[in-house]
């Protein structure tokens, strides 16, 4: 039987991937794309990073890492060897055997999915598409995006998915700041538009990731990521509600959780806080509930958890008011210092950070604000800019109240307590300390 050109192109693609001769392009050089590009380069591939932000491409080519999870020496090694280059020239996508799309998928103001970044990336891929290429979408999105949005755009030029070119979805699972689980050892979910696409994507990731898990379709792979993050959002919502309940009952919720986690089965600890933040957990449940509504299903449980999580910054502000009331002060006119504005410990990402909502609510009530965050040197706020100040200097200024929004490991918590001022601790960072001036969630 003669070999069709499409079959020949497919065999060539697999051979080049397995021999690590395939040229890999990564569109989007942020928290997901840059670590992925570096890992492919470390494993011996020739990688080109694509980003519309030329400042990022210049920094990469100059061996300067702007992502904490990418060590400068790792970036320098792959750039110096020629394994990784960055560019803003999307026309060079035509040179790639594989294109991996890792661009943001935020929400619109209406809380509906915003696929504009994905659409622009796919438009660039479509303009350069040639037979034998593998296109993989990693951006978190609703089930059906790959087949309903990406595939028609790529097929508009006449090439057929899973025949002439290959298409898959593989959800990113990045956890910024996590030193134990990285791009290399986090299992990779892969679902293709057909068997050939799945096989090609599995071969690609097996060359760089320790474990690859193939699923039956792109829709299953898309749903996997939404389940993972909705699971976290719902459980955080549950424990936040338990925290509100425990406050009413004068019970220490942190002690309750620590005791409950001693059960060796049937319980997984989650912890309350000032809200949820980051590029996934606050966003992904909205993608899921939006798609469910398109199919006539109402996600009441998921949306309730979202309402609870969204209410936590207001609750933190009420705790600040309660703390100040013990000193016969109001929020209006009080000097309030916030420790940590990033969305999680030891990262510099402020996307969807609940600390931003806390700052806004305090400002609306007339507070005089300042903050410390070793990872966020400045912060747009109220039409101006707040700049991080040294924590020791902040404590020396004796603020009327301090609020721990993000429990960075660099903060000296003993010094915060020793300063003797009012403290609202939203993360139990002062768990070992007991003082009438400490107010917990």
How many angstroms separate the CA atoms of 409 and 369, rounded?
A: 22
How many angstroms separate the CA atoms of 227 and 241, rounded?
A: 21
Residues counted in the chain: 441
| 317 contacts: CB under 8 Å, gap ≥ 6 | 331, 358, 361, 362, 365
Are the beta carbons of 321 and 334 closer than 8 angstroms? no
As to burial, measured by CB atoms within 10 angstroms (0-12 exposed, 13-18 middle, 19+ buried), residue 408 is buried
How would DSSP label each residue in 53-110? -HHHHHHHHTT---STTS-HHHHHHHHHTTSEEEES-GGGGGG-SEEEE-----B-TT
Q: What is the pLDDT of residue 257?
A: 97
How many angstroms separate the CA atoms of 120 and 107, rounded?
A: 16
Determine the distance from the C-alpha atom of residue 115 to the mean position of all C-alpha atoms in its chain, rounded to a whole number. 16
Of residues 169 and 290, the one with the higher pLDDT is: 169
Angle at Cα 418 formed by Cα 413 and Cα 423, nearest 5°?
A: 65
Q: What is the pLDDT of residue 4?
A: 53
Rg, C-alpha atoms of the chain: 24
| 177 contacts: CB under 8 Å, gap ≥ 6 | 68, 69, 344, 345, 346, 347
At 122-157, the pLDDT tens digits run 999 999 999 999 999 999 999 999 999 999 999 999
At 26-46, the pLDDT tens digits run 999 999 999 999 999 999 999
Q: Label residues 148-165 b or e (16+ Cβ within 10 Å = b).
A: ebbbeebbeeebebbbbb
Q: Characterize the bridge pairing of strands 378-381 and 384-387.
A: antiparallel
At 260-273, the pLDDT tens digits run 999 999 999 999 99
Least confident of 90-99, 240-249, 291-300: 291-300
Which residue in 125, 246, 280, 405 is the catalytic one? 280
Helices then strands, counting H and E runs in the chain, come out as 15, 15
Q: Which domains occur in the chain, in start order?
A: 5-215 (3.40.50.720), 236-440 (3.40.50.720)
Q: What is the pLDDT of residue 3?
A: 45
Q: Is 125 a catalytic residue?
A: no
The two three-digit tokens of residue 239, written as one number: 């424990």
At 338-353, the pLDDT tens digits run 999 999 999 999 999 9
Q: What is the pLDDT of residue 320?
A: 98
């Amino acid at each position: 039987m003669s070999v069709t050109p499409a079959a020949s192109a497919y065999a060539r693609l697999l051979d080049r991937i397995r021999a690590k001769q395939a040229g890999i392009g990564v569109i989007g050089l942020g928290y997901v794309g840059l670590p992925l590009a570096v890992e492919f380069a470390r494993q011996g591939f020739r990688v080109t990073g694509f980003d519309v932000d030329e400042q990022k491409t210049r920094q990469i080519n100059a061996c300067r890492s702007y992502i904490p999870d990418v060590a400068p020496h790792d970036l320098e090694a792959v750039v110096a060897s020629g394994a990784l280059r960055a560019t803003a020239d999307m026309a060079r996508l035509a040179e790639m055997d594989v294109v991996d799309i890792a661009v943001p998928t935020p929400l619109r103001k209406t809380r509906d999915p915003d696929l504009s970044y994905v659409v622009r990336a796919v438009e660039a891929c479509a303009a350069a598409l040639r037979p034998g290429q593998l296109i993989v979408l990693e951006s978190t999105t609703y089930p059906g995006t790959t087949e309903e949005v990406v595939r028609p755009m790529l097929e508009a030029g006449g090439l057929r998915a899973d025949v002439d070119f290959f298409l898959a979805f593989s959800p990113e699972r990045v956890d910024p700041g996590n030193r134990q689980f990285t791009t290399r050892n986090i299992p990779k979910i892969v679902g293709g538009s057909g068997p050939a696409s799945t096989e090609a994507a599995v071969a690609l990731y097996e060359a760089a990731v320790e474990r690859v898990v193939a699923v039956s379709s792109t829709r299953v792979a898309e749903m996997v990521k939404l389940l993972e993050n909705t699971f976290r959002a719902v459980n955080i919502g549950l424990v936040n509600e338990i925290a509100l309940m425990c406050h009413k009952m004068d019970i220490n919720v942190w002690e309750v959780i620590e005791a409950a986690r001693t059960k060796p089965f049937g319980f997984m600890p989650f912890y309350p806080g000032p809200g949820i933040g980051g590029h996934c957990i606050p966003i992904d449940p909205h993608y899921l509930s939006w798609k469910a509504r398109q199919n006539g299903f109402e996600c009441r449980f998921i949306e309730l958890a979202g309402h609870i999580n969204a209410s936590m910054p207001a609750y933190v502000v009420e705790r600040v008011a309660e703390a100040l009331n013990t000193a016969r002060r109001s929020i209006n006119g009080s000097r309030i210092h916030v420790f940590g504005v990033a969305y999680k410990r030891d990262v510099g990402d402020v996307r969807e950070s609940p600390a931003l909502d806390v700052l806004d609510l305090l400002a609306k009530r007339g507070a005089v604000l300042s903050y410390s965050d070793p990872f966020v040197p400045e912060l747009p706020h109220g039409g101006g800019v707040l700049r991080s100040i040294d924590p020791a200097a902040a404590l020396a200024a004796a603020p009327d109240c301090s609020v721990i929004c993000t429990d960075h490991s660099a903060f000296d918590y003993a010094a915060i307590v020793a300063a003797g001022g009012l403290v609202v601790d939203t993360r139990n960072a002062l768990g070992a300390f007991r003082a009438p001036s400490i107010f917990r969630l």
